[in-house]
A and B are shown apart, each in its own frame.
Chain A
Amino acid sequence: MPFISIRDLRVAFDGTQVLHGVNLDVAKGEALGLVGESGCGKSVTWLAALGLLPGTARVTGSVTLDGQELCGASRSTLEGVRGGRVAMIFQDPSSSLNPVIRVGRQIAETLRIHRGLMGDAARLEAIRLMDMVGIPDARKRSDTYPHELSGGQCQRIMIAMALAGEPDLLIADEPTTALDATIQAQILDLLSAVRAETGMAMVFISHDLGAVSQVCDRICVMYAGRIVEEGRIDATFGNPRHPYTRGLFDAIPRLEGGRERLVPIHGTVPDPRNLSNGCAFSPRCDRATDFCRSNLPVLKPQPDGRFLSCFHPVTGISKSSCTSGQHESAAA
């Protein structure tokens, strides 16, 4: 049984639907990468799952954690889950920490909520966690304020704070985007090390496919509020089937290929307020037909174990993959 299971999750802001029925499972201990262009709904998916969206958001669907329903659950249920079973860290570590509270105390707050630690016990445990995530001179640093620390150190504090509740799942929402390259690599190493030590599952949200391949077992590609392809890292990286996934891979600068290999996906991300009836990617897709523009593909399991939502997928090396004709007849 998956640890957390998202079914038909839909989110709308002021009548504009931005998430169109997302289905997603995360197993215990697994690392799942979630990629897609800005605005496709990666953050909203997980904020909605934890009930962290503002009141203006309309959320429907189901999110179950070990069989317990979270969508529409009571405040106290959600408060027990947040930080305790599922922790989340965010893109901009400096502004994600409260500027007027000492960092040690911010970690200690989680310890109090989920582990009942108070006073000196909480302080010492906070220092131990800071030490564990690689903050030098943790005892002294625990008394500093976020603005006195660098971005990388703030992200380490965020990670320490997330670990403080001993969660089973960590949602890392672009944890390295705001950091420079060397610090990015250090944070990725830290996350891998923490996972190796605690066996915690992780959802790694990122634009950086390289980082995803480094830390994840499985990858999920989102486009315009839907999952369009999902599969194991090696299979998907070796043979991306969805034209959008393909486009993402082609846009990665490669060392051996030189500059000319870099092919950005043409066109822009669709506006969630006016999506076409057909496949949301069809306006930007070289393989799209009239059929694609008027019919909505659904995410379907493929013989090779991945999930795909496309009428005309890129034909890969694998001969066993479905032909486009089958998809069209299935959807029609």
Chain B
Amino acid sequence: MSYVYRSGHMLSFFLSRMLRAAITILLVMTFAFCVLRLSGDPAQILLGPDAPQDAIEAFRERWGLNDPIVVQYWAYLKSLWSLDFGVSMRDKSPALQLVLERIPTTLQLTIPALILKVGIGIPAGVYAALHRQSIADRGVIMMAVFGFTIPSFVVGLLLVLIFSVTLGWLPSGGQDTWMHGILPTLTMSIGGIGILARFSRSAMIEVLGQPYIRTASAKGMSWRDVVWKHALPNASVPIVTIVGFMIGSLIAGAVVVETIFSWPGVGRLLVVSVSNRDLAVVQCLLLVIAGTMVLANLAVDIMYGWLDPRLRSKSAAH
């Protein structure tokens, strides 16, 4: 709060960040726009291989696919400017609505997963750093390596094999009850727990070796206070980077898991729309995904300044 007044650069910091964010999003959109159109014909895919030639021609004409790509692109930008995100080529419903409908479904998985990642990964890593070379530390390192080296589809299949096929405790697909969410949530959290445990551990070990920790002990502070008041606030800077990245992928991070567990979220919509070349829907999805990532990034930058006064002047100077 006080640094807003003191640095006086907050406004220009925000503006430059927003500008950069806008450019990033525009680049993503342009790239997706071109690749989608150059890599397959929506008319052919949507109407099927047996569709008569004149039906295909009519479809192309209707969606403006016969225009030169520059003309299409300009039309797309103009409609974006008026917040028109287009309609689905399949059922003509507004693309934005299709996307927004799916977001809560995805968040049902990704938010509990994020809570698990943060709630288990960070404490485990910090505990390991505080008890180096102990059995607990070794256990955390092993779990962390396991967590982030095994791909999530393997974890997912393993969990299904154990809990659905062998034990028969939990359903392996669908979205009917909260029980259905357990396996996908676990699948998604394991890698993140490993990553966060490893990062928190190394961040904490780095901080505990700093001279100011010795200073804090030398003034007679209890070890508990040294850890909570002096070590953790410093270690939180690198940890926040990872958590920020995880927050940024709350919406887009579930593609693989939603596919494995047939969870009807944003990820499923993306996979289906890309294979159907449902242009407006894919473009709208990418816009939303890029937007959340950019926002999370901005939030991380602001958090940095809040956590570490040394970064305030630097980030403002960018």
A interface residues (Cβ-Cβ under 8 A, vs B): 47, 50, 52, 75, 79-84, 87-88, 90, 92, 95-101, 109-110, 113-114, 145, 147, 158, 161-162, 164-165
Contacts and interface: CB of A to CB of B under 8 A. Distances in A.
Interface of B is mostly: helix
Given A99-B310, A100-B307, A147-B309, A113 B221 contact: yes
B223 A50 contact: no
A14 B113 CA distance: 42
A110 B229 CA distance: 13
B212 A50 contact: no
B166 interface: no
A96 B308 CA distance: 16
Nearest to B307: A100
A100 B229 CA distance: 10
B308 A75 contact: no
Contacts of A165: 219-220
Contacts of A99: 212, 234, 308-310
Contact of A110 (B219, B222, B308): B219
Q: What 7 A-B pairs are tightest by C-beta distance, nearest first?
A: A83-B220, A83-B219, A82-B220, A145-B309, A98-B212, A96-B211, A88-B218
Contacts of B90: none
A114 B233 CA distance: 23
A98 B310 contact: no
A96 B220 contact: no
A98 B308 CA distance: 11
Interface in B172-222: 210-212, 214-222
A47 B310 CA distance: 29
A88 B214 CA distance: 10
Nearest to A98: B212
B102 interface: no
Contact of B219 (A47, A75, A87, A100): A87
B230 interface: yes
A162 B215 CA distance: 10
A113 B219 contact: yes
Contacts of A82: 217-220
Name the residue among B212, B214, B219 with the largest chain A CB count within 10 angstroms. B219
A145 B234 CA distance: 14
A87 B218 contact: yes
30 contacts: A52-B217, A79-B222, A82-B217, A82-B218, A82-B219, A83-B218, A83-B220, A83-B221, A84-B220, A95-B210, A96-B212, A97-B212, A98-B215, A98-B230, A99-B308, A99-B309, A99-B310, A100-B307, A101-B230, A109-B216, A109-B219, A109-B229, A110-B220, A113-B220, A113-B221, A145-B309, A147-B310, A164-B219, A165-B219, A165-B220
Contacts of B210: 95
Interface in B116-152: none
B309 A109 contact: no
A97 B210 CA distance: 10
Nearest to B218: A88
Contacts of A114: 220
A140 to B, nearest CB: 11
Contacts of A92: 211
Contact of B222 (A75, A98, A158): A75
Contacts of B307: 100
B216 A98 contact: yes
A95 B233 CA distance: 15
B143 to A, nearest CB: 23
Contact of B233 (A47, A100, A158): A100
A96 B215 contact: yes
A85 B210 CA distance: 24
A101 B310 CA distance: 11
Q: Chain B CB within 10 Å — which of A100, A101, A114 has the most?
A: A100
A150 to B, nearest CB: 15
Contact of A80 (B214, B217, B220): B220
B121 to A, nearest CB: 22
Given A75-B222, A147-B309, A90 B211 contact: yes
Nearest to A95: B211
A79 B212 contact: no
